[in-house]
Amino acid sequence: MKALKTLMVGIVFVLGLAGLTFAQTTASQTVTMQISAISVLGVTGNPAALTVTAPALGGDLPDNPTSNTTYARYTSTVAAGVTRRLQANWGVADGAPAGCQLQLTATPAGLPNQGSSSGQITMTSTATNIVTGIGSCATGTTATSGAQLAYVLSVDTMTALVAGDNHVVTITLTLTDN
């Protein structure tokens, strides 16, 4: 009986020491970070004027004037599995000079998630894809970062050209979810 009491006292003492030595409690805190869907688009400026000029040799057709000095820069964050596209259009009242069409090709840099060119489009008032498959990316902000915008004023009908016919149009680029 005495041995049992000694054992009990020992157990109680050990429990007491355990409480003294190994007591621990916990508390927690939640950290939440929300990456929002970001769709930010800008252009580096306006293209140079596209002017139909005289050919070098009389009797030739004039060359198609071009401008490829501007870029569309974009920053995009999307949810997993979502992509975006870059579209272009002009206003319903806009149009090319008689006998001409305005064509546009957007060429991304080929870096991951910056999308693929849809090739050359003819500008209309209907938004048309110029780059597709854009994921989460940032094209960069240097002078030549982003999708290069190559405009061509294509002379389609020589006999319809009117000297002095001047059109100023506004091209709208839109970065939109698929």
Partner 1 sequence: MRPVAGTAVRFLLAAFVAWNLAQAATITITGSWSRVIGAGDLTGGPGSNLTATYTSATNQVLMGVTGAGNRNWRVDVRRIDTIWHADFVLSIRRTNNGTAGPGTVTGGTNYLQITATSQTFVTGRRNRTGITLQERLNGVSVSIPATAYTTTILFTVVEI
Q: Which residues bind partner 1 (CB under 8 A)?
A: 5, 8-9, 12-13, 15-16, 19-42, 73-80, 113, 136-141, 145-146
Of 52 and 131, nearer to partner 1 (C-beta) is: 131
Compute the least distance from the CB of residue 117 to partner 1, in Å: 17
> Least CB distance from residue 26 to partner 1, whole Å?
5
Are residues 70 and 48 in contact, defined by beta-carbon separation less than 8 angstroms? Answer: no
3-state secondary structure 67-132: EEEEEEEEEEECCCCCCEEEEEEECCCCCCCCCEEEEEEEECCCCCCEEEECCCEECCCCCEEEEE
Q: Give the separation between CA 17 and CA 15, rounded to whole angstroms.
A: 5
Q: Which is nearer to partner 1, 29 or 159 (CB)?
A: 29
Q: CB-wise, 26 or 51, nearer to partner 1?
A: 26
Partners of 71 in beta bridges: 148
Closest approach of Cβ 11 to partner 1, in Å?
Answer: 9
Q: Which is nearer to partner 1, 13 or 158 (CB)?
A: 13
Closest by Cα among 150, 86, 148 to 113: 86
Nearest distance from C-beta of residue 62 to partner 1, angstroms: 35
User: In the complex with partner 1, which residue's Cβ is closer, 54 or 80?
Assistant: 80
**CB of 175 within 8 A of CB of 82?**
no
Q: How far is the CB of 158 from partner 1 (least distance, A)?
A: 40
Q: Do residues 102 and 64 make contact, with C-beta atoms less than 8 angstroms apart?
A: no
